[in-house]
Amino acid sequence: MVLLPTLDEVEGIAEVVPRIPMDQLNDLGWEVEALVIDGGSDDGTIEVAASLGCSTIRQHGKGKGAAMRHGFSLFLEGTYDSLVMLDADGTYHPEEIPTFLKGLQTADVVVGDRLKGAMDPDAMTRTNYFGNHLLTWCAVALYGVPMNDLCSGYWAFSRRSISLLKLNSMRFEIEAEMYTACTLEQLEMAHVPIRYSRRLGEAKLGSVKDGWNILRKLMVRRIFRAPPQSSLGQGNLNID
Protein backbone atom coordinates (compact mmCIF):
# COMPACT_ATOMS: atom_id res chain seq x y z
CA MET A 1 0.00 0.00 0.00
CA VAL A 2 1.16 3.51 -0.81
CA LEU A 3 -0.05 5.96 1.82
CA LEU A 4 -0.28 9.64 0.88
CA PRO A 5 -1.26 12.24 3.50
CA THR A 6 -2.92 15.33 2.04
CA LEU A 7 -4.14 18.69 3.21
CA ASP A 8 -5.04 21.01 0.34
CA GLU A 9 -2.56 19.34 -1.98
CA VAL A 10 -4.48 19.40 -5.26
CA GLU A 11 -1.47 20.35 -7.37
CA GLY A 12 0.80 17.87 -5.64
CA ILE A 13 -1.56 14.90 -5.79
CA ALA A 14 -2.17 15.44 -9.51
CA GLU A 15 1.60 15.32 -10.05
CA VAL A 16 2.53 12.51 -7.65
CA VAL A 17 -0.09 9.79 -8.23
CA PRO A 18 0.46 9.34 -11.98
CA ARG A 19 4.19 8.95 -11.28
CA ILE A 20 3.71 5.88 -9.03
CA PRO A 21 5.33 3.19 -11.23
CA MET A 22 2.34 0.83 -11.16
CA ASP A 23 3.41 -1.29 -14.14
CA GLN A 24 6.92 -1.77 -12.84
CA LEU A 25 5.59 -2.69 -9.39
CA ASN A 26 3.09 -5.14 -10.87
CA ASP A 27 5.90 -6.72 -12.90
CA LEU A 28 7.86 -7.11 -9.67
CA GLY A 29 4.86 -8.98 -8.24
CA TRP A 30 3.37 -6.20 -6.12
CA GLU A 31 -0.32 -5.48 -6.07
CA VAL A 32 -0.58 -1.77 -5.26
CA GLU A 33 -3.27 0.38 -3.71
CA ALA A 34 -2.71 4.12 -3.30
CA LEU A 35 -4.57 5.41 -0.25
CA VAL A 36 -4.97 9.14 0.23
CA ILE A 37 -5.61 10.05 3.84
CA ASP A 38 -6.98 13.55 3.82
CA GLY A 39 -7.10 16.11 6.60
CA GLY A 40 -10.09 18.07 5.29
CA SER A 41 -8.95 19.57 1.99
CA ASP A 42 -11.38 21.92 0.31
CA ASP A 43 -9.41 22.52 -2.88
CA GLY A 44 -10.52 19.41 -4.77
CA THR A 45 -7.66 17.16 -3.60
CA ILE A 46 -9.98 14.25 -2.80
CA GLU A 47 -11.84 14.49 -6.10
CA VAL A 48 -8.60 14.57 -8.10
CA ALA A 49 -7.16 11.68 -6.07
CA ALA A 50 -10.29 9.58 -6.66
CA SER A 51 -10.26 10.38 -10.38
CA LEU A 52 -6.67 9.09 -10.51
CA GLY A 53 -7.75 5.77 -9.03
CA CYS A 54 -6.74 6.31 -5.38
CA SER A 55 -8.79 5.15 -2.45
CA THR A 56 -9.58 8.22 -0.36
CA ILE A 57 -10.47 8.60 3.26
CA ARG A 58 -11.05 11.51 5.60
CA GLN A 59 -8.76 11.15 8.60
CA HIS A 60 -9.82 10.93 12.25
CA GLY A 61 -8.73 14.01 14.17
CA LYS A 62 -6.33 16.64 12.87
CA GLY A 63 -2.68 16.78 11.86
CA LYS A 64 -0.28 14.66 9.80
CA GLY A 65 0.56 12.45 12.81
CA ALA A 66 -3.08 11.56 13.41
CA ALA A 67 -3.49 10.94 9.68
CA MET A 68 -0.53 8.56 9.48
CA ARG A 69 -1.69 6.60 12.53
CA HIS A 70 -5.14 6.28 11.00
CA GLY A 71 -3.59 5.16 7.71
CA PHE A 72 -1.39 2.61 9.50
CA SER A 73 -4.42 1.16 11.31
CA LEU A 74 -6.31 0.82 7.99
CA PHE A 75 -3.24 -0.93 6.55
CA LEU A 76 -3.25 -3.37 9.48
CA GLU A 77 -6.93 -4.14 8.83
CA GLY A 78 -6.06 -5.12 5.25
CA THR A 79 -3.78 -7.77 3.84
CA TYR A 80 -0.96 -5.92 2.05
CA ASP A 81 2.57 -7.02 3.00
CA SER A 82 4.26 -3.63 2.97
CA LEU A 83 3.51 0.04 3.33
CA VAL A 84 5.27 2.95 1.67
CA MET A 85 4.45 6.48 2.83
CA LEU A 86 5.38 9.69 1.09
CA ASP A 87 4.20 13.28 1.14
CA ALA A 88 1.87 14.28 -1.66
CA ASP A 89 3.45 17.68 -2.31
CA GLY A 90 5.80 16.72 -5.15
CA THR A 91 8.94 16.83 -3.00
CA TYR A 92 9.51 13.06 -3.02
CA HIS A 93 9.84 10.94 -6.15
CA PRO A 94 7.41 8.02 -6.41
CA GLU A 95 9.67 6.48 -9.07
CA GLU A 96 11.89 5.44 -6.16
CA ILE A 97 9.24 3.19 -4.52
CA PRO A 98 10.86 0.00 -5.95
CA THR A 99 14.14 0.90 -4.20
CA PHE A 100 12.30 1.06 -0.89
CA LEU A 101 10.60 -2.30 -1.48
CA LYS A 102 13.95 -3.84 -2.38
CA GLY A 103 15.32 -2.48 0.91
CA LEU A 104 12.54 -4.27 2.78
CA GLN A 105 13.95 -7.61 1.66
CA THR A 106 16.74 -7.20 4.21
CA ALA A 107 15.41 -4.59 6.68
CA ASP A 108 12.20 -4.08 8.65
CA VAL A 109 12.04 -0.37 7.88
CA VAL A 110 13.54 1.72 5.08
CA VAL A 111 14.01 5.48 5.48
CA GLY A 112 14.60 7.82 2.56
CA ASP A 113 17.62 10.02 3.20
CA ARG A 114 17.41 13.44 1.56
CA LEU A 115 20.59 14.76 3.10
CA LYS A 116 22.80 12.13 1.44
CA GLY A 117 20.68 12.08 -1.71
CA ALA A 118 20.31 14.61 -4.48
CA MET A 119 18.54 17.65 -3.11
CA ASP A 120 17.44 20.32 -5.57
CA PRO A 121 19.04 23.63 -4.58
CA ASP A 122 15.75 25.34 -3.70
CA ALA A 123 13.99 22.30 -2.20
CA MET A 124 14.56 22.97 1.50
CA THR A 125 14.78 26.28 3.33
CA ARG A 126 17.98 27.00 5.26
CA THR A 127 16.03 26.90 8.53
CA ASN A 128 14.59 23.48 7.76
CA TYR A 129 17.97 22.16 6.56
CA PHE A 130 19.73 23.33 9.70
CA GLY A 131 16.84 22.26 11.96
CA ASN A 132 16.70 18.80 10.44
CA HIS A 133 20.45 18.28 10.93
CA LEU A 134 20.21 19.44 14.53
CA LEU A 135 17.17 17.27 15.31
CA THR A 136 18.78 14.25 13.64
CA TRP A 137 21.92 14.79 15.71
CA CYS A 138 19.81 15.03 18.91
CA ALA A 139 17.95 11.84 17.98
CA VAL A 140 21.17 9.87 17.51
CA ALA A 141 22.68 11.34 20.70
CA LEU A 142 19.58 10.36 22.71
CA TYR A 143 18.89 6.94 21.20
CA GLY A 144 22.26 5.75 19.87
CA VAL A 145 20.71 4.24 16.77
CA PRO A 146 21.96 5.50 13.39
CA MET A 147 19.68 7.95 11.58
CA ASN A 148 20.53 10.30 8.75
CA ASP A 149 17.36 12.26 8.08
CA LEU A 150 14.96 12.26 11.03
CA CYS A 151 12.28 14.36 9.38
CA SER A 152 12.11 12.43 6.11
CA GLY A 153 8.55 11.86 4.95
CA TYR A 154 9.46 8.86 2.74
CA TRP A 155 9.49 5.54 4.62
CA ALA A 156 8.68 1.89 3.93
CA PHE A 157 7.63 -0.72 6.47
CA SER A 158 6.96 -4.41 6.61
CA ARG A 159 3.58 -5.41 8.04
CA ARG A 160 5.27 -6.74 11.16
CA SER A 161 7.06 -3.49 11.87
CA ILE A 162 3.89 -1.39 11.53
CA SER A 163 2.11 -3.76 13.91
CA LEU A 164 4.83 -3.15 16.52
CA LEU A 165 5.01 0.66 16.39
CA LYS A 166 3.48 2.39 19.40
CA LEU A 167 2.56 5.93 18.37
CA ASN A 168 0.48 8.88 19.51
CA SER A 169 1.87 11.91 17.59
CA MET A 170 -0.61 14.44 16.28
CA ARG A 171 1.47 16.58 13.93
CA PHE A 172 4.87 16.67 12.27
CA GLU A 173 6.61 14.94 15.22
CA ILE A 174 5.26 11.63 13.84
CA GLU A 175 8.46 10.76 11.93
CA ALA A 176 10.58 11.36 15.04
CA GLU A 177 8.25 9.09 16.99
CA MET A 178 8.42 6.46 14.25
CA TYR A 179 12.19 6.49 14.73
CA THR A 180 11.95 6.22 18.54
CA ALA A 181 9.36 3.43 18.21
CA CYS A 182 11.66 1.54 15.79
CA THR A 183 14.54 1.80 18.26
CA LEU A 184 12.31 0.55 21.10
CA GLU A 185 11.28 -2.51 19.07
CA GLN A 186 14.86 -2.97 17.84
CA LEU A 187 13.73 -2.97 14.24
CA GLU A 188 16.39 -3.11 11.56
CA MET A 189 16.42 0.25 9.77
CA ALA A 190 17.99 0.78 6.36
CA HIS A 191 18.66 4.18 4.80
CA VAL A 192 18.48 4.88 1.09
CA PRO A 193 19.54 8.17 -0.53
CA ILE A 194 16.63 9.84 -2.28
CA ARG A 195 15.98 12.87 -4.43
CA TYR A 196 14.19 15.84 -2.92
CA SER A 197 12.56 18.61 -4.90
CA ARG A 198 10.78 21.86 -4.24
CA ARG A 199 7.22 21.41 -3.06
CA LEU A 200 4.16 22.35 -5.10
CA GLY A 201 1.53 24.34 -3.22
CA GLU A 202 1.85 25.75 0.26
CA ALA A 203 3.82 24.29 3.22
CA LYS A 204 1.84 23.32 6.32
CA LEU A 205 4.82 22.87 8.61
CA GLY A 206 5.79 25.82 10.80
CA SER A 207 9.56 25.39 11.20
CA VAL A 208 10.08 26.69 14.72
CA LYS A 209 6.90 25.44 16.41
CA ASP A 210 7.06 22.04 14.75
CA GLY A 211 10.83 21.80 15.29
CA TRP A 212 10.26 22.32 18.99
CA ASN A 213 7.49 19.70 19.04
CA ILE A 214 9.86 17.23 17.40
CA LEU A 215 12.59 17.90 19.97
CA ARG A 216 10.07 17.58 22.80
CA LYS A 217 8.85 14.25 21.42
CA LEU A 218 12.44 12.96 21.27
CA MET A 219 12.97 13.91 24.92
CA VAL A 220 9.62 12.58 26.16
CA ARG A 221 10.10 9.23 24.39
CA ARG A 222 13.58 8.92 25.92
CA ILE A 223 11.91 8.90 29.34
CA PHE A 224 8.55 7.26 28.57
CA ARG A 225 9.51 4.80 25.88
CA ALA A 226 5.96 4.44 24.53
CA PRO A 227 2.60 6.21 24.84
CA PRO A 228 0.53 5.08 27.86
CA GLN A 229 -0.61 1.47 27.42
CA SER A 230 -4.18 2.45 28.34
CA SER A 231 -4.44 4.79 25.34
CA LEU A 232 -3.04 2.36 22.78
CA GLY A 233 -5.94 0.95 20.85
CA GLN A 234 -5.90 -1.58 18.06
CA GLY A 235 -2.47 -1.89 16.47
CA ASN A 236 -0.82 0.24 19.19
CA LEU A 237 -1.78 3.35 17.26
CA ASN A 238 -4.08 5.22 19.59
CA ILE A 239 -7.03 4.96 17.23
CA ASP A 240 -10.58 4.33 18.46
Ligand X SMILES: Nc1nc2c(ncn2[C@@H]2O[C@H](COP(=O)(O)OP(=O)(O)OP(=O)(O)O)[C@@H](O)[C@H]2O)c(=O)[nH]1
Q: By CB under 5 A, name the binding residues for Mg ion.
A: 87, 89, 91, 199
Pairing assessment for the beta strands 155-158 and 82-85 based on DSSP bridges: antiparallel
Binding positions for ligand X, 161-220, rule CB under 6 A: 172, 199, 203-205
Pick from 17, 46, 87, 156 the residue near ligand X by CB under 6 A: 87
Which residues have CB under 8 Å from 141's CB, separation 6+?
none
Return the one option of ligand X, Mg ion, none that residue 62 interacts with (CB less than 5 to 8 A, by type). ligand X
- Closest residue (Cβ) to ligand X? 39
Handedness of CA 181, 231, 208, 141 (dihedral sign): negative
Counting contacts by CB under 6 A, is residue 89 touching ligand X?
yes
Close Cβ partners of 155 (under 8 Å, ≥ 6 residues apart): 84, 85, 100, 109, 110, 111, 112, 175, 178
Run of H or E including 140: helix 126-143
67 interacts with ligand X by CB under 6 A = yes
CB of 144 to ligand X, least distance (A): 25
Closest of 56, 58, 60 to residue 69, by C-alpha: 60
Size of site (CB under 6 A) for ligand X: 23
Backbone angles phi, psi at 37, to 5 degrees: -110, 110
- Which residues between 114 and 143 bind ligand X (CB under 6 A)? 128
Figure out which of the listed residues 22, 56, 59, 158 binds ligand X, where binding follows CB under 6 A: 59
d(CA 221, CA 202): 30
Q: Does 64 contact ligand X by CB under 6 A?
A: yes
Write out the residues near ligand X by the rule CB under 6 A. Answer: 5-7, 9, 37-39, 59, 62-64, 67, 87-89, 91, 128, 153, 172, 199, 203-205
